[in-house]
Amino acid sequence: MVSKRLLGVLLTACCGCVWTSAGGELCARAEAGMRKAGVHWARKVASHGGFVWEYSTDFVTRRRGESGDLPLSTVWVQAGTPMVGEVFLRVYEVTNDAVFLEAAVAAARCLAWGQLASGGWTYSIEFDLTRNRHRYHHLSAEQAKGLRNTTTFDDNNTQSATRFLMHVDEHVDDVEVTAAIDRALACFLAAQYGEGAWDGAWPQRYPPPKKGYGAYPTYNDNTMSDCVKTVLHAYRQYGKAEYLASVKRCLAFYLRSQQPDPQGVWAQQYDRDLKPAWARRFEPPSVTGAESCGNARLLMDMFLEFGDPQYLAAVGRAVDWYRRSRIGGSETSGRWARFYELGTNRPLYFTRTYKLVYTDDDLPVHYSFRSHYGVDDMIKRYEALRKKGREAQIRARERRRSQAEWRERMAGLIPKVEAILAAQDDLGRWVKVVPQRNLKRDKDGRISYEENTKKPLPMIYSRTLVRNMRLLADYAEASRASAE
């Protein structure tokens, strides 16, 4: 492994903060806390370099992704290994501590090992081949016989893994990582539809099934936006024209699939006639208050990127619909339904036995049917972009903070940093004691959660590690920059 950073850069020790009366001592504590946490997660929590969502502190009672309990041979891709790997890279970029780069590369190699022959990833990686059900790219024909080979773009799965690998590639020359990136980007191009009403769109799965919603172009959970961001990242990093063409074709699909006014937003998924379609039994043909917000945010990003006024105009139509479709809250803090009936614009809901209704008094607990969905912030951003214009927004985005601004940022983070460090134990963990919680179904199929308060579990969570490490890294970065 050869570092891509200039060899002349002085590697700062882990507690190499700038010592000032304003925050040097706290910065040193923050960096020491990050190192303690990083060492524990890299050397005690990681399995084959990868991670799952949550662990009991004994690593035996509970070890889960979006699943039941998992053996040590299984790691999670979706919101797991790439997410933790990214925070290791973030801390490395701030501190230059090689511990974090080594942990990030280990996570990248874990993902490379678990990459499917189809070029992407499924939700988990199984290192015990006697338990494995997936066709990893390195398996022999005999080993691969009868195994699944379906890449999933659902829940930012293949997208997050690919972006993380590209991020690692900015720091190291590693043949395993490079080969995995090449396979993944080839998968994105192969999976993108190339003709008809679906031209430019991505399905939820690749190869797509011959029938069913898995073949539909889907915005569900911002799947397509994550594909666009990933391929655009590849274009910026590697400069290949086919990546830019792929992005532009997908953006044309965004414009083509936007519904006509007065419901000028998007559906979750579309049939071959570009009509909103059923997916799972609780995802009806409709327009969506959730994913449409993500689409609007992406189109604003793309307006800044490319300057095409069609992208901003599409957002304006969506904003008009949102202002007419609020189901609660206020003008500046609203709530919207996930689904709205085509034509009538009435909010749609489901009961816990999955009956489609207009009332929201018996909702399933495993899915969001109403929320704020970040709409108010999206509308504020749209209004600012429309008022100030593209060039001003680009200048503001690219402007470097002054020392005074860095000091202000540092001061604002101090209470959170103090709280995070106070909650960290001697092993570098953030432990939370919680009741044992399990999902159950009644005889009618209703899902609920059962808690056992008599046997609480001391738990650690990947999302907690990531949140706390990001904030500590932000503080260390601000401390260093304020003294430059």
Phi-psi bin for 168: left (phi > 0), alpha (psi -120 to 50), beta?
Answer: alpha
* 117 in a structural domain: yes
* 461 in a structural domain: no
Q: Indicate the SS3 state at residue 124.
A: strand
* 149 in a structural domain: yes
Neighbouring CB atoms inside 10 A of 287's CB total 26
- CB-based contact 405:473 (threshold 8 Å): no
Angle formed at CA 77 by CA 76 and CA 79, multiple of 5 degrees: 95
Residue 390 structural domain? 51-94+102-397+447-453
pTM over cut 0.75: yes
How far is it, in rounded angstroms, from Cα 115 to Cα 151?
A: 9
Report DSSP state, residue 376. Answer: H
Helix (H) or strand (E) holding 455: strand 447-461
- CB-based contact 152:219 (threshold 8 Å): no
Q: Which regions in the chain score pLDDT beneath 50? A: 2, 5-15, 18-20, 22
- How far CA 158 is from CA of 120, 139, 144, 369, in Å, comes to 5, 19, 20, 26
pLDDT of 468 reads 99
* Amino acid occupying residue 460: I
Q: 167-171: which pairs have CB atoms within 8 A and are 24 or more residues apart?
A: 167/86, 167/89, 168/85, 168/89, 168/104, 168/105, 168/108, 169/237, 170/4, 170/237, 171/3, 171/4, 171/5, 171/89, 171/92, 171/101, 171/104
Number of domains into which the chain is organized: 1
CATH number at residue 273: 1.50.10.20
How close are the terminal C-alpha atoms of the chain, in Å?
Answer: 31
How far is it, in rounded angstroms, from Cα 272 to Cα 200?
A: 13
3 state SS for 318-362: HHHHHHHCCCEECCCCEEEECEECCCCCCEEEECCCCCEECCCCC
How far is it, in rounded angstroms, from Cα 482 to Cα 484?
A: 6
* 431 in a structural domain: no
* 33 in a structural domain: no
Average pLDDT, the chain: 94
* 476 in a structural domain: no
* 427 in a structural domain: no
Q: Indicate the SS3 state at residue 50.
A: strand
* 346 in a structural domain: yes
The tokens describing 301, both together, are 């990003």
pLDDT of 449 reads 75
How far is it, in rounded angstroms, from Cα 192 to Cα 35?
A: 41
